[in-house]
Amino acid sequence: MIFQAIRLALRSILRNKLRSFLTILGVVIGVAAVIAMVTVGQGSSAQVSASVESLGSNMLVIRPGQRGFGPPSAGVPIRRFSLRDADAVATLPVAAAVAPIANATATLVAGNANVSTSITGTNEQYPTVANWTVALGRNLTPAEVRAGAPVCILGQTVRQKLFGAADPVGQAVRVKTISCQVVGVLAPKGAGSFGQDQDDLVLMPIRLVQRRLNGDDDVNGIQVTLSPGVGSQEGIRAIQALMRERRHIGLGEDDDFSVTDMKEVASMLNSVNSVLSGLLSSVAAVSLLVGGIGIMNIMLVSVTERTREIGIRLAIGASSRQVLTQFLVEAVVLSLFGGVIGIFVGLALAWGAGVFMSIPFTPDPLVILLAFVFSAVVGVIFGFFPARRAARMDPIEALRHQ
């Protein structure tokens, strides 16, 4: 009987292909939104935690200027950090490793190849602080850092572009007027939280960057790894106290620098993620509701159109339960069609978004199953009322219809 009902349902759905398709569009959109959202959401939160992990755990970033958005207040020039600030932070017991950073952008040339990349001037602590591994060659030495020696370590992307698969260690690259010797290559990290390529970088001794590329002695920021067992709040307090003293900030004055805990950034990114998911969920819920109402509407039309058929079936010996089953099955099959199409559309969207935002594509079979079940439930709920109307028809009146 159920099998028969499914066959009948398929037939009547296929008989009105366009109408059926328009009917299930709401369910398609709803399910596609759910699937796309969950798949992208899971991919990106997996990626946020992975990339935060790759930034280095227990890491604080100190930057000059007040924390917050927008331009700094007029007339208050940002007071820069210097290498002495970094040395002072390094003397704090809460700091296990400290890396000052000076950024520059420049074009590197090796043979015929050239690449424009961001150059991070720093010290030998940087790989430890920022969680990099030197895959080939070696790290910078303290002597090279002190002297500002013309050496560099390449990120994987830069190495690929300049040398391909060849071993660049010992080779020379030219940056502006400097001829730099490659001493090491970093292990790849992949895409960051915003989809940026983390491997597109070059490390150099900070003094080299300051003197030869930037022409000043600015330090753009200081990255600190806290000592084991030191909480981030404790670390932040200690650093704030030190920096306020060094920068002679009075009791009533605000900090003119910021100390950021990278874990906080991660949780902020995750909460942005969950707000977006919440938004999309409500879109999906509304869409499923509208889809359900669409199914109910078309089933009511169908029941009315087929009044005579219902009368015939009842006269021939169908029980009202069998009529109910027939129309309910039709609504569920219709809705499941929508669900299945929606699942495919959603997965395709998630895959596309994943490629676009370089987020991993991780379809979750449980979510797909849930979406399938849920679309069946939508069919049952919204198909019930029309089906009951069909089942409660008076056979004589139904036969007399039209």
Partner 1 sequence: MTAPAPLIEFRNVSRVYGRGEAEVRALDGVDLTIAEGEFVAIMGPSGSGKSTAMNIIGCLDRPTGGEYLFKNTPVQSLSNDALALLRRHYLGFVFQGFNLLPRTSALENVELPLIYKGVPAAERAARAQEALAKVGLSGRGAHHPSELSGGQQQRVAIARALAGNPAVILADEPTGNLDSHRSEEILILLQDLNAREGITIVMVTHEPDIAAYARRLVIFTDGRITRDEPVAWNQAAAAEAPI
> Is there binding between residue 319 and partner 1 (CB under 8 A)?
yes
CB 372 within 8 A of CB 336: yes
Nearest to 94 by CA among 54, 62, 141: 62
Q: What gap in Å lies between CA 161 and CA 64, rounded to an integer?
A: 34
> Is there binding between residue 395 and partner 1 (CB under 8 A)?
yes
> Is there binding between residue 318 and partner 1 (CB under 8 A)?
yes
Cα–Cα distances in Å, from 256 out to 33, 37, 101, 260, 263?
45, 40, 18, 13, 22
Q: Using the minimum distance from each CB to partner 1, give the nearer residue, 292 or 311.
A: 311
> Is there binding between residue 2 and partner 1 (CB under 8 A)?
no
> Is there binding between residue 6 and partner 1 (CB under 8 A)?
no
The values of phi and psi at residue 208, to 5°, are: -65, -45
Q: Say how many Å lie between the first and final Cα of the chain, rounded.
A: 29
CB of 306 to partner 1, least distance (A): 9
- Is the torsion defined by CA of 227, 232, 235, 239 positive or negative? positive
Number of residues that bind partner 1 (CB under 8 A): 20
**Count of alpha carbons within 13 Å of 276, Cβ hemisphere only?**
16
Nearest to 123 by CA among 105, 146, 106: 146
CB of 16 to partner 1, least distance (A): 11
> Is there binding between residue 399 and partner 1 (CB under 8 A)?
yes
Binding mask 262-301 for partner 1 (x = CB under 8 A): ----------------------------------------
List the interface residues with partner 1, window 8-47 (CB under 8 A).
15
Q: Using the minimum distance from each CB to partner 1, give the nearer residue, 318 or 347.
A: 318
How many residues does the structure list for the chain? 402
Q: Using the minimum distance from each CB to partner 1, give the nearer residue, 262 or 324.
A: 324
CB of 323 to partner 1, least distance (A): 10
Residues of the shown chain interacting with partner 1 in the complex, contacts defined by CB under 8 A: 1, 4, 15, 308-309, 311-322, 395-396, 399
